[in-house]
Chains A and B, each alone.
Chain A
Amino acid sequence: MSVASVSAGSDMQELLEILSRNRIRVPDDRLDLVLAEYRLLRDQMNLLERQLDSGAHAHIMTAMAPAERP
């Protein structure tokens, strides 16, 4: 088994565990679509983790500030 296929299997396993934990059933024929989206999203979460300036406490806000003005 190649490294790539091990990774694919492991990703699918991870995804199935998340779905099971959240009581979500996905038709078998849609699993590949979900897996592709899941991988992309996981890459994007990793990118954000690298971008976060943890020391910038002014950025610790959990909502947009609608009345913010220039």
Chain B
Amino acid sequence: MSTGTSIRRQAEHLRGGLDTSAALTQALLDRIAATNARTCAFIRVDSAGALAAARQADAELANGRVRSPLHGIPVAVKDIYDVAGQPTTCHSKLRLDHVAEDDSGPVQRLRDAGAVLLGKLATHEFALGGPSFDLPFPPARNPWDLDRIPGGSSSGSGAAIAAGYTRIALGSCTGGSIGVPAAWCGAVGLKPTYGRVSKYGVFPLSWTLDHCGPLTRSVEDAALTLQVLAGHDARDPSSAAVPVADYTADLERGVGNLRVGVPRHTFQNSPLASAAFLDAMSNTEAQLEEAGAVLSEVTLPDPDVFLACGRVINSAEIFSVHRDWVRERPQDYGELTLPRFLLGAAIGSEDYLTAMRVRRQLAAGVNSVLEHVDVLLTAVTLDVAPPFEPTPHFRFWPVQTYVFNVTGHPTVTVPVGLSAQGLPLAVQVVGRYFDEATVLRVARAIERLSGWERQALPDLQG
């Protein structure tokens, strides 16, 4: 059994005694050991802990105790999630000596569900920065082309899925950090509604924009993972006490008569949009219509305003978190990170509150569109993954992020095919607050209609 087998099927095999979690975990550890030096997806592998957890899962399953659909399933987490007894470095010199005392909320839920933690995954410094070579660990690389970036900041999470190290890798998203690596690595990326998944014990970047969620191999895997992660956590003040839906019940229902709004103005005329992406989007629209969805063009507020709103809030909150380090240890930040982390010093209270007020306007604008359609179909990245550059510098990637981090609506990024160069292309489905079930249902239809569910992973052994 390998990561080519779905989580649902893996769990069936484990429950039925056809395979063991220990064997599955060892196979993945072997794969990581063989190729991680090239992908740099993991910055810490906990082989002993993983195998111990796997053996415990096997013993429980043999005794008929089934904790969840993830019982015995190997997973990995971005290195901003606390795991008790392990370092949480945030990929930064500033945190090399930190050891977590407690599990973060999502890790605790995974552990309680019987999942097996393989280790910690690379990120951009403190989940921002960029793919940099001046940090304590190398940047993750894109398994589809190791000379290209995997996207970020959940860079190791995207790379781990594409490399076949796991089918579930937790990421986090402040302005596209789940969707972008998912799109560029050919993974499914689920950013739940703000408040749906606990952020307790997850190092904050910008706490009113931060979301925790999984990158997975398939939409069904994402639904099963959300089922474990979702729920109120009193230790996280932003956690929502909203009932948790059944995320797999309607997954295969298709899109018949569902209303899909396409905000074409947000991507169609962008100079960064490639022909390959635009073709992929057109094909997806045609496939959904053919399957019975009712598509219409909709208009969202100006994407530049979302971006401005996100950056002002983000900069102010980052500076609030990092102010002392920026003053006392500026030399320990990466070259790309420091300029962005100190900018919040230039933002006054009036600017921050103006951004928060505009944010409410933007959220109301999106809500009014979602009164007339069930989901939105839009872009997250406008082209395939770009190559690494020898000298790090600020650049505008061909991405369309921030919009739904600013508003907090749930999104799923779903791959739809490969470009002529053999690199993944993806689209994004967006839904109403706490309606992840419908978003996943549409994403599952796209996954099936596009044929992505049959797509093999890149060959790293060759």
Q: What's the count of A-B pairs with C-beta under 8 Å?
A: 129
* C-alpha gap A48/B362 in the complex (Å): 11
The DSSP consensus for interface residues of chain B is helix
Identify which of A24, A33, A44 contacts B345 (C-beta below 8 A): A24
With contacts A56-B361, A58-B360 taken as known, whether A44 is within 8 angstroms of B307 at the C-beta atoms is: yes
B444 to chain A, nearest CB (A): 21
Say whether B346 contacts A15, CB under 8 Å: yes
Residue contact B327 to A26, C-beta cutoff 8 Å: no
> How many residues of A sit at the interface, in one of the four size bands?
35 or more
Interface string of A19-31 (1 = CB under 8 A from B): 1011111110010
Q: B358 touching A51 by the CB < 8 A rule?
A: yes
Give Cα A38 to B311, complex, Å. 11
Contact call B370/A70, Cβ cutoff below 8 A: yes
With A37-B394, A42-B346 as contacts: A67 and B308 at CB distance below 8 Å: no
Partner of A64, one of B208, B353, B371, B435: B208
Q: Given A41-B312, A64-B208, verify A48-B327 contact (CB < 8 Å).
A: no
CA distance A28 to B415 in the complex (A): 43
Alpha-carbon separation in the docked complex, A41 to B345 (Å): 11
Interface membership of chain B positions 342-362, coded 1 if the CB is closer than 8 angstroms to chain A and 0 otherwise: 110111000101111110110
Q: How far in angstroms is the closest Cβ of chain A from B304?
A: 7
The answer to whether A48 and B309 have CB atoms under 8 Å apart is yes
- Cβ of B91 within 8 Å of any chain A Cβ, yes or no, is no
Write the chain A residue with the least CB distance to B431: A70
A59 and B361 in contact (CB under 8 A), knowing A34-B343, A68-B433? Answer: yes
Q: Are B360 and A61 in contact (CB under 8 A)?
A: yes
Smallest CB separation, B394 vs chain A (Å): 7
| B335 contacts chain A at the CB level, 8 A cutoff | yes
- Whether A67 lies near B240 (C-beta < 8 A) is yes
Whether a CB of chain A sits under 8 angstroms from the CB of B428 is no
In the bound assembly, the distance between CA atoms of A47 and B311 in angstroms comes to 12
Q: Contacts A23-B327, A47-B308, A69-B434 given; indicate if A33 touches B240 (C-beta within 8 A).
A: no
Interface: A18 (CB within 8 A)? yes
Nearest B residue to A43 via CB reads B308
Range for the number of chain B residues in contact with chain A: 35 or more
Taken together as a complex, chains A and B put the C-alpha atoms of A18 and B364 apart, in Å, by 34
Hey, which chain B residues are within 8 Å of A30, CB to CB? 335, 338-339
CB pair B347–A66 under 8 Å, yes or no, is no
Q: What is the bound-complex CA distance between A65 and B443, given in angstroms?
A: 26
**Cβ-defined contact, A52 with B433, below 8 A:** no
A42 to chain B minimum Cβ distance, whole angstroms, is: 7
CB <8 Å contact, B242 and A69: yes
Q: Among B323, B331, B354, which residue has the most Cβ atoms of chain A within 10 A? A: B354
Contacts A33-B394, A47-B304, A49-B354 given: A66-B239 contact, CB under 8 Å? yes
Does A45 count as interface, using CB distance less than 8 angstroms?
A: yes
**Which listed residue (A18, A25, A53, A63) contacts B208, Cβ 8 A?**
A63
User: Nearest A residue to B308 by beta-carbon distance?
Assistant: A44
Q: State A9–B397 Cα separation when bound (angstroms).
A: 29
Contact among B312, B331, B339 for A34, CB-based, below 8 A: B339
- A33 to B346: give the CA distance in the assembly, Å: 15
A36 in contact (CB, < 8 A): yes
Min CB–CB distance B116 → chain A (angstroms)? 30
B327 touches A64 (CB 8 A): no
Whether the Cβ atoms of A41 and B339 lie closer than 8 Å is no
The digit string for B301-318, where 1 denotes a CB below 8 A from any CB of A, is: 000110111011001000
* Distance to closest chain B CB from A39 (angstroms): 10
Q: A60 on the interface (CB 8 Å rule)? A: yes
Instruction: Report if A2 contacts B (CB, 8 A).
Output: no
Say whether B343 contacts A38, CB under 8 Å.
yes
Specify which chain A residues have a CB less than 8 angstroms from the CB of B195 in the assembled complex.
64, 66-67
Closest 3 CB pairs of A and B: A66-B195, A44-B308, A59-B360
Chain B residues near A (Cβ < 8 Å) = 193-195, 208, 238-242, 304-305, 307-309, 311-312, 315, 323, 326-327, 330-331, 335, 338-340, 342-343, 345-347, 351, 353-358, 360-361, 364, 367, 370-371, 393-394, 408, 432-435
Beyond A33-B393, A52-B358, A56-B360, 12 extra complex contacts between A and B, CB < 8 Å = A40-B311, A44-B307, A45-B351, A45-B355, A47-B304, A52-B361, A59-B364, A63-B356, A64-B195, A66-B195, A66-B242, A69-B434
7 contacts between A and B (CB under 8 A): A33-B394, A34-B338, A34-B342, A47-B308, A61-B356, A64-B238, A68-B408
